[in-house]
Amino acid sequence: MHPDWQLFLERQGAHFEDIDGAPGVAAFDGPAPSMQPELADLSPLGLLRIEGPEAGKFFQGYATCDLHEAAPDRALPGALCSREGRSIATFRVWGAPDALTLRLHRDLIVPVSDLLARFIVFSKAELIEVGDAMVGIGLVGDGAEEHIVDLCGAAPAPGEVITAGPADAPWTAIRNRGERARFEIWLPVGAAPEVWQRLAARSRPVPWSRWAAHRIRAGYIELSPRTAGEYVPQALNLQANGLISFKKGCYLGQEVVARTQHLGKLKKRMYRFSIADLERNAPPLGSPVTLGDADGDKVGEVVAAACDEGRCDLLAVIRNDAAEKALVVGKHALTLEALPYDVPSLALRA
């Protein structure tokens, strides 16, 4: 996090904590107003750029999505896999074939850069780590779309990218999919305080956990260093959310991903759960999910969790034959919640 941006947020009453390896806002001072929409600092996320005449061609050989569908005004969800077909990063990507921008977990930027750097030397392209020069601001809830229109002149539809602000230092606005409107604005750190204050005058600043809870309720996972490299994409429902193209050519890990999809031999996948009356101390990522009680058989592990409004929302990769049984994380009973999308039946076969 850029020190100027952190100092600004501290002056707005923000307190910070480690969020899956990256600094994030834990709380704001004062009573929480009921104002909508909600305003969040997205510092646990960051940007990575791939630029050059062969940028798109190069990254097409690594992304699970089809880069031919990306454009300056169109953002695609996608993932990167290891040779073994394990998901090592999830991202949104937009831009022209010679200038791509990826949005992903901040602490995965260096590992992803290191992986791609081994091969990009053979292409007319380069990796550019944006670092703290750009800031992400999130806006979610009732009235968010109107605020984005006031700020950017238009509000992007799901998958659309809007560019606004000064020509020499533009802002980028994208909209995440889901029932609730969740917008992200990416802009230079020098412009961020003014934009935050404009939005804060008509919205409610919230901690990162609130933003994460909205994402979890929408059934989407943002891979972090603690969850990267553990699961094939289908175990995280990525195929159900449009992160995988089964029509494009080869990419790193593609053989395993395609075999999993077409043979349907997937014994575990991601489910959504909640824990009642848990206001803080969400289960750490990787926490075992067990049958019956803490001493029961392990049937899965937590891959995302956030406490919000007196309860904890979480995503866990669970054995399919155990998902509807009595499950716990530590001493906390889990309640199975519906996902707001359908998971293809092929991935449910044990």
Q: What pLDDT is stored for residue 350 in this prediction?
A: 33
Q: What pLDDT is stored for residue 266 in this prediction?
A: 87
Q: Tens-digit pLDDT profile for the chain (350 aa)? A: 899 999 999 999 999 988 776 789 999 997 666 778 999 999 999 999 999 999 999 999 999 999 999 999 999 999 999 999 999 999 999 999 999 999 999 999 999 999 999 999 999 999 999 999 999 999 999 999 999 999 999 999 999 999 998 888 899 999 998 778 899 999 999 999 999 999 999 999 999 999 999 999 999 999 999 999 999 999 999 999 999 999 998 999 999 999 988 887 789 999 999 999 998 889 999 999 999 988 899 999 999 999 988 899 999 999 999 999 999 999 999 999 999 999 976 544 33
Report the predicted TM-score, pTM, of the whole model to 2 decimal places: 0.93
Question: Where does residue 207 rank: exposed (0-12), middle (13-18), buried (19+ CB within 10 A)?
Answer: buried
Q: What pLDDT is stored for residue 263 in this prediction?
A: 82
Q: What pLDDT is stored for residue 9 in this prediction?
A: 97
* CA–CA dist 201, 120 (Å, integer): 45
* Tokens encoding 144: 């968010």
* Tokens encoding 126: 């380069």
**Is the CB of residue 278 less than 8 Å from the CB of residue 264?**
no
Domains and CATH numbers, the chain: 1-262 (3.30.1360.120), 264-348 (2.40.30.110)
Q: What pLDDT is stored for residue 112 in this prediction?
A: 97
Q: What pLDDT is stored for residue 210 in this prediction?
A: 94
**Is the CB of residue 151 less than 8 Å from the CB of residue 143?**
no
Q: What are phi and psi of 338, to 5 degrees?
A: -75, 140
